[in-house]
Amino acid sequence: MDKSKSTGESPALGTSTAARSSDDWAQRKILNELSGLLTEVQQELKRVRPRTVEKEKLFSFEKQIDRLSHLLEHIEEVHRSRLEIQLITQIASKLANVLDLEVMLNLILDSLKQVVDYDAAGIFVMNQSGQLVVGEVIRGYEGFDRGQVRQKLGKGLMGWVMETMAPVVVPDVSRDPRYVMARPQTRSEVAVPLFTDGKVIGCLNLESDRPAAFTERDAEHLKTFASHAAVAVQRARMHKEILEKQRIDEELALARRMQLSLLPNRSPQLENFAIAGINVPSEEVGGDYYDYIRLTEKDLGIVVSDVAGKGIPAAFIMASLRASLRIEAGSRYAISTILSRVNDFLWEFIEPERFVTAFYGVLDGRARLLTYANAGHNPPILLRQSGRLEYLTEGGLLLGAFPSALYHEYRVAFKPGDLLVLYTDGLSEAENEAGEQFGPERIIQATKETAPKGHRAVISGLLKAVRTHTGRPTLQDDITLMVIRCL
């Protein structure tokens, strides 16, 4: 088998790396031999008797030896720097092939140990606004509160370097007022910012248990390392954001499918009534829900509700509400009891900040009678044939907000030509560019204008009116409508 293929390297790259390693070893061997020879000569000079060699020649010889010693030290320093830069470049090459942010940050700290030694380290990556930490890896802080380490970002040396975009070396942390202690044994610290395109995206922090463990030279190497790391981190961060957006899009698509699967696919048939409903989705999935529940040949349950919140959580609550309401409606006719039991069920499992508004009623087709309870929902508007308006507000509290809540049911009789409009706040609270809401008055106006054309025309007229009001083709929130006309 071709060894270059088994290691994932091209033959040219493998040969080049091997050649560089051989040259480095040969150069190091020569430097070591020169250094050893120079040491022997210096020791031999110390053993020379002053009278055996002329004083001027001895002084000149010692001076040349000193110059040679300094030159050798300089050569060693250049060689060491070149090796460190070469190591940094090799590490940067590794980082270029990693897209997972957490893997990237761990690789950075593992690789950094080869460049600058440390006892504790942390690397932190901020979001686009610079307000939240979206990635972090820390080492050497075992037994200490992660929050103590993170607070160094806001004030401490890390906060300082992120604000000034300049590295800092502190030989003795006890003498620097900027230092925030996260581990008592730390004696010295170095920190450098991570930034690309002139914008800080994070910070790299190293700590040592020895005083004056870090030098300005270490800081310069860290700056070089950080410039490569920042580019790789930015790429990994963008990759993470893309994956996060894809995940959110998939969740929203799932929530939308879940929501649509639970909504009625056709209008019900009921004696003396014509009924139609619609859910118009916005770009962001909401918790709107409407349903028809067949109870008897002459009785039909109707419900319109809205779950506080968006996305998958709201969709799950909506599904739970539908299931519990259908179970309770099928076994108990008293609307007050149905809503009380549904309320207690929701209160037990949804988060405190979530709740449900709902209007639930039962239409008796033969008697032309609606028995209902309004649980904190937008009051349905009853437009009488005479033009008089009524609002169905009575019932009780929001569902899922308070335990053991009581609900009361009410009745309203219909006459031919009467029209009932039920809706969610996506309709009434739709805003135009000036921030003005569509509101109940415009709902009434659009309803009156289209009522003579029938219940479906009312739905079309309301949707047209709200789009005209907002001036936008897309909706800010889901809109759910149900229109009931007495025949």
- Helix H or strand E segment including 112: helix 101-115
Residue 280: which pLDDT band, with cuts at 50, 70 and 90?
A: confident
- Judge if 408 and 479 occupy the same domain: yes
- Buried-exposed string 176-206: b where 16+ CB fall within 10 A, e elsewhere: eebbbebbeebbbbbbbbbbbeeebbbbbbb
> Measured between alpha carbons, how far is 207 from 384 in angstroms, rounded to an integer?
78
For residues 215 and 171, give the distance between their C-alpha atoms in angstroms, rounded to a whole number.
8
113 and 126, same domain (yes or no): yes
Domain boundary among 57, 72, 95: 95
Q: Which residues does 121 contact at the CB level (< 8 Å), separation at least 6?
A: 109, 112, 138, 139, 140, 204, 205, 206, 207
Residues 6+ apart with CB under 8 A from 169: 189, 190, 214, 215, 216, 218, 219
- Do 83 and 113 lie in one domain? The reply is no
224, 271: one domain: no
Choose the final residue of a domain: 95, 115, 139. Answer: 95
Secondary structure element (H or E) that encloses residue 85, with its range: helix 55-95
Across 154-162, average pLDDT: 80
What mean pLDDT is reported for the chain?
82
Distance (Å, whole) CA 373 – CA 357: 11
Q: Whole domain around residue 67: which residue ranges? A: 1-95
Which pTM does this prediction carry?
A: 0.58
Q: Are residues 324 and 379 in the same domain?
A: yes
Q: Do 74 and 150 fall within a single domain?
A: no
CATH number of the domain bearing residue 394: 3.60.40.10
Same domain, 279 and 368: yes
**Domain CATH code at residue 3:** 1.10.287
Check which CATH number belongs to the domain holding 228 and give it.
3.30.450.40
Helix (H, G, I), strand (E, B) or coil at 137: strand
pLDDT tens, 412-435? 999 999 999 999 999 999 999 898
What does the DSSP 8-state code read for residue 380?
P
Q: Could you give the CA distance from residue 255 to residue 261 in angstroms, rounded to a whole number?
A: 10
Do 72 and 4 share a structural domain? Answer: yes
Burial 129-166 (b: 16+ CB within 10 A, else e): eeeeebbbbbbbbeeeeeeebbebbeebbbbbbbeeee
**Residue 216 and residue 190 in contact, taking contact as beta carbons nearer than 8 Å:** no
CB-CB neighbours of 55 under 10 Å: 9
Do 56 and 114 belong to one domain? no
User: Residues near 39 by Cβ (< 8 Å), separated by ≥ 6?
Assistant: none
Total number of domains constituting the chain: 3
112 and 67 in a common domain? no
Query: What would the pLDDT profile of 205-240 be if each residue is shown by its tens digit?
Result: 899 999 999 988 888 878 877 877 777 777 777 777
For 115-143, the pLDDT digits (tens) are: 788 999 988 888 776 677 777 888 888 77
Last residue of a domain, one of 236, 262, 288: 262
Query: Which structure tokens are listed for 332?
Result: 């108990």
* 257 and 291 part of one domain: no
Which secondary-structure segment (H or E) carries 465? helix 455-470
